[in-house]
Amino acid sequence: MRGIGSVGVAMILFPNGLKVNPFELQCLNHVVANVEDWLAATLDEKINRRREVLLNQWQTRLLTDPDYSSLPADSDALCRVIFDHPDYKSRYEQEVDNQIRKEFSLLDPTTRRLSDMTRVEVDSISRFNTAKYNSTRRTSGATLLFPTGLEISDLDAQCLRAFIVDIEDWVHGAILGMINRGKKKMITQYRPVIMSDPSVTNMPATESGLIDSITKRADYRTAVIEPTDPG
Protein backbone atom coordinates (compact mmCIF):
# COMPACT_ATOMS: atom_id res chain seq x y z
CA MET A 1 0.00 0.00 0.00
CA ARG A 2 1.22 3.44 -0.92
CA GLY A 3 1.77 5.69 2.08
CA ILE A 4 2.48 9.41 2.22
CA GLY A 5 3.00 12.11 4.79
CA SER A 6 3.92 11.66 8.41
CA VAL A 7 3.96 8.36 10.21
CA GLY A 8 1.37 7.40 12.78
CA VAL A 9 -1.99 5.76 13.02
CA ALA A 10 -3.16 5.53 9.47
CA MET A 11 -6.34 5.87 7.52
CA ILE A 12 -6.76 4.43 4.06
CA LEU A 13 -8.18 6.43 1.18
CA PHE A 14 -9.71 4.49 -1.69
CA PRO A 15 -9.17 1.05 -0.10
CA ASN A 16 -10.31 -0.59 -3.35
CA GLY A 17 -8.22 1.65 -5.57
CA LEU A 18 -9.09 4.50 -7.87
CA LYS A 19 -10.13 3.68 -11.43
CA VAL A 20 -9.38 5.68 -14.54
CA ASN A 21 -10.55 4.60 -17.98
CA PRO A 22 -8.21 4.43 -20.99
CA PHE A 23 -9.29 7.86 -22.27
CA GLU A 24 -8.66 9.43 -18.86
CA LEU A 25 -5.29 7.69 -18.59
CA GLN A 26 -4.24 9.02 -21.99
CA CYS A 27 -5.14 12.54 -20.88
CA LEU A 28 -3.30 12.14 -17.58
CA ASN A 29 -0.19 10.71 -19.22
CA HIS A 30 0.04 13.75 -21.44
CA VAL A 31 0.75 16.00 -18.47
CA VAL A 32 2.10 13.74 -15.72
CA ALA A 33 4.80 11.13 -16.18
CA ASN A 34 3.52 8.89 -13.38
CA VAL A 35 -0.06 9.34 -12.25
CA GLU A 36 0.31 7.67 -8.87
CA ASP A 37 3.47 9.62 -8.07
CA TRP A 38 1.82 12.89 -9.09
CA LEU A 39 -1.32 12.25 -7.08
CA ALA A 40 0.60 11.16 -3.98
CA ALA A 41 2.92 14.17 -4.24
CA THR A 42 0.00 16.57 -4.74
CA LEU A 43 -1.80 15.23 -1.69
CA ASP A 44 1.42 15.33 0.29
CA GLU A 45 1.98 18.96 -0.72
CA LYS A 46 -1.55 19.84 0.33
CA ILE A 47 -1.08 18.15 3.70
CA ASN A 48 2.14 20.08 4.31
CA ARG A 49 0.66 23.43 3.25
CA ARG A 50 -2.47 22.95 5.32
CA ARG A 51 -0.45 21.91 8.36
CA GLU A 52 1.65 25.06 8.00
CA VAL A 53 -1.41 27.28 7.62
CA LEU A 54 -3.10 25.60 10.58
CA LEU A 55 -0.08 26.20 12.79
CA ASN A 56 0.20 29.81 11.63
CA GLN A 57 -3.49 30.48 12.21
CA TRP A 58 -3.42 29.08 15.72
CA GLN A 59 0.00 30.29 16.82
CA THR A 60 -1.03 33.76 17.93
CA ARG A 61 -4.16 32.47 19.56
CA LEU A 62 -2.33 29.83 21.60
CA LEU A 63 0.47 32.18 22.56
CA THR A 64 -2.03 34.62 24.05
CA ASP A 65 -4.20 31.97 25.67
CA PRO A 66 -3.73 32.06 29.47
CA ASP A 67 -4.71 28.40 29.72
CA TYR A 68 -1.40 27.36 28.14
CA SER A 69 1.81 27.85 30.09
CA SER A 70 3.91 26.08 27.47
CA LEU A 71 3.46 24.67 23.99
CA PRO A 72 5.17 21.72 22.36
CA ALA A 73 7.93 22.57 19.94
CA ASP A 74 7.15 19.48 17.89
CA SER A 75 4.84 20.06 14.92
CA ASP A 76 2.80 16.88 15.42
CA ALA A 77 2.32 17.56 19.11
CA LEU A 78 1.36 21.18 18.45
CA CYS A 79 -1.22 20.05 15.91
CA ARG A 80 -2.73 17.75 18.53
CA VAL A 81 -2.96 20.64 20.98
CA ILE A 82 -4.89 22.57 18.33
CA PHE A 83 -7.23 19.68 17.57
CA ASP A 84 -7.91 19.23 21.29
CA HIS A 85 -8.66 22.92 21.79
CA PRO A 86 -12.31 23.46 22.77
CA ASP A 87 -12.73 26.11 20.06
CA TYR A 88 -11.31 24.00 17.26
CA LYS A 89 -13.77 22.96 14.56
CA SER A 90 -13.08 20.92 11.49
CA ARG A 91 -14.26 22.27 8.15
CA TYR A 92 -17.24 19.90 8.29
CA GLU A 93 -18.20 21.13 11.74
CA GLN A 94 -17.90 24.72 10.49
CA GLU A 95 -20.15 23.90 7.53
CA VAL A 96 -22.74 22.35 9.85
CA ASP A 97 -22.64 25.42 12.07
CA ASN A 98 -23.08 27.68 9.06
CA GLN A 99 -26.00 25.65 7.82
CA ILE A 100 -27.67 25.58 11.20
CA ARG A 101 -27.26 29.34 11.58
CA LYS A 102 -28.77 29.91 8.14
CA GLU A 103 -31.77 27.76 8.85
CA PHE A 104 -32.18 29.14 12.35
CA SER A 105 -32.28 32.69 11.02
CA LEU A 106 -35.24 31.80 8.83
CA LEU A 107 -37.44 30.58 11.67
CA ASP A 108 -39.97 32.55 13.67
CA PRO A 109 -37.93 34.42 16.30
CA THR A 110 -40.66 33.94 18.90
CA THR A 111 -40.70 30.16 18.75
CA ARG A 112 -37.32 29.05 17.39
CA ARG A 113 -34.89 27.13 19.61
CA LEU A 114 -31.30 26.48 18.67
CA SER A 115 -31.42 23.04 20.28
CA ASP A 116 -34.04 22.00 17.71
CA MET A 117 -31.66 22.64 14.83
CA THR A 118 -30.19 19.35 13.65
CA ARG A 119 -30.80 19.21 9.90
CA VAL A 120 -27.76 19.83 7.77
CA GLU A 121 -27.29 19.82 4.02
CA VAL A 122 -23.60 19.99 3.36
CA ASP A 123 -23.20 16.68 1.60
CA SER A 124 -24.34 17.93 -1.78
CA ILE A 125 -21.59 20.55 -1.77
CA SER A 126 -18.83 18.55 -0.21
CA ARG A 127 -19.19 15.60 -2.60
CA PHE A 128 -19.57 17.55 -5.81
CA ASN A 129 -16.36 16.11 -7.27
CA THR A 130 -17.14 12.56 -6.23
CA ALA A 131 -20.54 12.82 -7.90
CA LYS A 132 -18.85 14.06 -11.07
CA TYR A 133 -16.27 11.27 -10.91
CA ASN A 134 -18.96 8.64 -10.38
CA SER A 135 -20.95 9.88 -13.35
CA THR A 136 -18.36 8.38 -15.72
CA ARG A 137 -18.42 4.66 -16.43
CA ARG A 138 -15.14 2.88 -15.88
CA THR A 139 -15.44 -0.80 -16.79
CA SER A 140 -13.40 -2.67 -19.37
CA GLY A 141 -9.83 -1.57 -19.79
CA ALA A 142 -9.83 0.63 -16.71
CA THR A 143 -6.56 1.14 -14.86
CA LEU A 144 -6.67 0.78 -11.11
CA LEU A 145 -4.51 3.32 -9.32
CA PHE A 146 -3.43 2.55 -5.77
CA PRO A 147 -5.04 -0.92 -5.91
CA THR A 148 -4.81 -1.40 -2.16
CA GLY A 149 -5.45 2.19 -1.22
CA LEU A 150 -3.53 5.30 -0.31
CA GLU A 151 -2.49 5.55 3.30
CA ILE A 152 -2.18 8.78 5.24
CA SER A 153 -1.77 9.25 8.96
CA ASP A 154 -4.72 10.24 11.09
CA LEU A 155 -2.90 13.43 12.04
CA ASP A 156 -2.40 14.38 8.38
CA ALA A 157 -6.05 13.58 7.71
CA GLN A 158 -7.01 15.89 10.56
CA CYS A 159 -4.85 18.66 9.11
CA LEU A 160 -6.71 18.28 5.82
CA ARG A 161 -10.11 18.12 7.50
CA ALA A 162 -9.41 21.42 9.16
CA PHE A 163 -9.84 22.91 5.68
CA ILE A 164 -11.77 20.46 3.50
CA VAL A 165 -14.87 18.44 4.22
CA ASP A 166 -14.12 15.23 2.39
CA ILE A 167 -10.60 14.11 1.47
CA GLU A 168 -11.66 11.60 -1.17
CA ASP A 169 -13.86 14.24 -2.79
CA TRP A 170 -10.82 16.52 -2.94
CA VAL A 171 -8.75 13.78 -4.60
CA HIS A 172 -11.55 13.18 -7.12
CA GLY A 173 -11.51 16.90 -7.93
CA ALA A 174 -7.73 16.82 -8.34
CA ILE A 175 -7.73 13.91 -10.74
CA LEU A 176 -10.68 15.21 -12.76
CA GLY A 177 -8.95 18.56 -13.04
CA MET A 178 -5.74 16.98 -14.30
CA ILE A 179 -7.63 14.77 -16.78
CA ASN A 180 -9.25 17.90 -18.17
CA ARG A 181 -5.92 19.74 -18.27
CA GLY A 182 -4.24 16.87 -20.11
CA LYS A 183 -7.09 16.61 -22.62
CA LYS A 184 -7.11 20.31 -23.40
CA LYS A 185 -3.36 20.67 -23.59
CA MET A 186 -3.04 17.63 -25.83
CA ILE A 187 -5.66 18.90 -28.24
CA THR A 188 -4.24 22.43 -28.21
CA GLN A 189 -0.76 21.09 -28.93
CA TYR A 190 -1.62 18.53 -31.60
CA ARG A 191 -4.57 19.99 -33.48
CA PRO A 192 -2.26 22.28 -35.48
CA VAL A 193 0.05 19.33 -36.10
CA ILE A 194 -2.81 17.23 -37.46
CA MET A 195 -4.19 20.07 -39.56
CA SER A 196 -0.83 20.70 -41.18
CA ASP A 197 -0.24 16.99 -41.81
CA PRO A 198 -0.92 16.34 -45.51
CA SER A 199 -1.55 12.64 -44.82
CA VAL A 200 -4.57 13.47 -42.64
CA THR A 201 -7.76 14.36 -44.52
CA ASN A 202 -10.32 14.06 -41.70
CA MET A 203 -10.18 14.57 -37.96
CA PRO A 204 -12.38 12.68 -35.48
CA ALA A 205 -15.35 14.76 -34.36
CA THR A 206 -15.31 13.57 -30.75
CA GLU A 207 -12.85 14.35 -27.97
CA SER A 208 -12.17 10.70 -27.28
CA GLY A 209 -11.67 10.01 -30.99
CA LEU A 210 -9.35 12.97 -31.33
CA ILE A 211 -7.33 11.96 -28.27
CA ASP A 212 -7.11 8.40 -29.59
CA SER A 213 -5.90 9.54 -32.99
CA ILE A 214 -3.32 11.88 -31.43
CA THR A 215 -1.85 9.23 -29.15
CA LYS A 216 -1.52 6.85 -32.11
CA ARG A 217 0.61 9.27 -34.08
CA ALA A 218 4.29 8.43 -34.45
CA ASP A 219 5.24 11.93 -33.36
CA TYR A 220 3.11 11.87 -30.20
CA ARG A 221 5.00 12.08 -26.92
CA THR A 222 3.59 11.59 -23.44
CA ALA A 223 4.89 13.52 -20.46
CA VAL A 224 8.30 12.30 -19.39
CA ILE A 225 10.38 12.81 -16.30
CA GLU A 226 12.82 15.55 -17.19
CA PRO A 227 16.47 14.77 -16.39
CA THR A 228 17.92 17.00 -13.74
CA ASP A 229 19.96 19.85 -15.16
CA PRO A 230 23.45 19.56 -13.66
CA GLY A 231 23.81 23.36 -13.79
Partner 1 sequence: MSIQVTPIPRLTALTTPAFTLGTANAAGSAITAIASDSTLGVFDTTLPAKVGTAAVGSATVTARRDHAHGGGGGNLDLGTYKLVGNGGSTGIAISAAGEITTAAQPCALAFNSATDSNVTGNGAATTIDFNTEQFDQNSDFAGDAFVAPVAGKYLFSFHIRFSGGTASLDKMTVSITGANILTIVAAYGGPNPGSQAGMSGAVIIDCDASDSVTIVLIGTGESSDVIDIQGGSNAETWYCAELVA
Q: Show the binding pattern over residues 65-104: x = contacts partner 1 (CB under 8 A), - = does not.
A: --------------------------x--xx--x---xx-
User: Which of positions 145-164 make contact with partner 1 (CB under 8 A)?
Assistant: 163-164
Binding residues for partner 1, how many (CB under 8 A)? 38
Least distance from partner 1 to the Cβ atom of residue 201, Å: 28
- Select the residue interacting with partner 1 from 46, 146, 153, 214 (CB under 8 A): 46
Cα R_g (the chain), whole angstroms: 23
Of 45, 43, 122, 55, nearest to 83 by C-alpha is 55
Query: By CB under 8 A, is residue 2 in contact with partner 1?
Result: no
CA distances from 27 to 65, 129, 134, 166, 222 (A): 50, 18, 18, 25, 9
d(CA 99, CA 87): 18
Query: By CB under 8 A, is residue 136 in contact with partner 1?
Result: no
Q: Show the binding pattern over residues 5-34: x = contacts partner 1 (CB under 8 A), - = does not.
A: ------------------------------
Least distance from partner 1 to the Cβ atom of residue 103, Å: 8
Query: By CB under 8 A, is residue 191 in contact with partner 1?
Result: no
Question: Rounded to an integer, what is the distance from CA 66 to the centroid of its chain?
Answer: 37
CA distances from 135 to 15, 18, 132, 176 (A): 20, 14, 5, 12
Cβ 142 vs Cβ 18: under 8 Å = no
Greatest Cα pair distance in the chain? 78
Query: By CB under 8 A, is residue 109 in contact with partner 1?
Result: no
Query: By CB under 8 A, is residue 226 in contact with partner 1?
Result: yes
Exposed/middle/buried for residue 47 (C-beta within 10 Å: 0-12, 13-18, 19+)? buried
Provide the binding-site residues for partner 1, judged by CB under 8 A: 42, 45-46, 49-50, 53, 91, 94-95, 98, 102-103, 106, 121, 124-125, 128-129, 132, 163-164, 170, 173-174, 176-178, 180-181, 183-185, 188, 226-229, 231
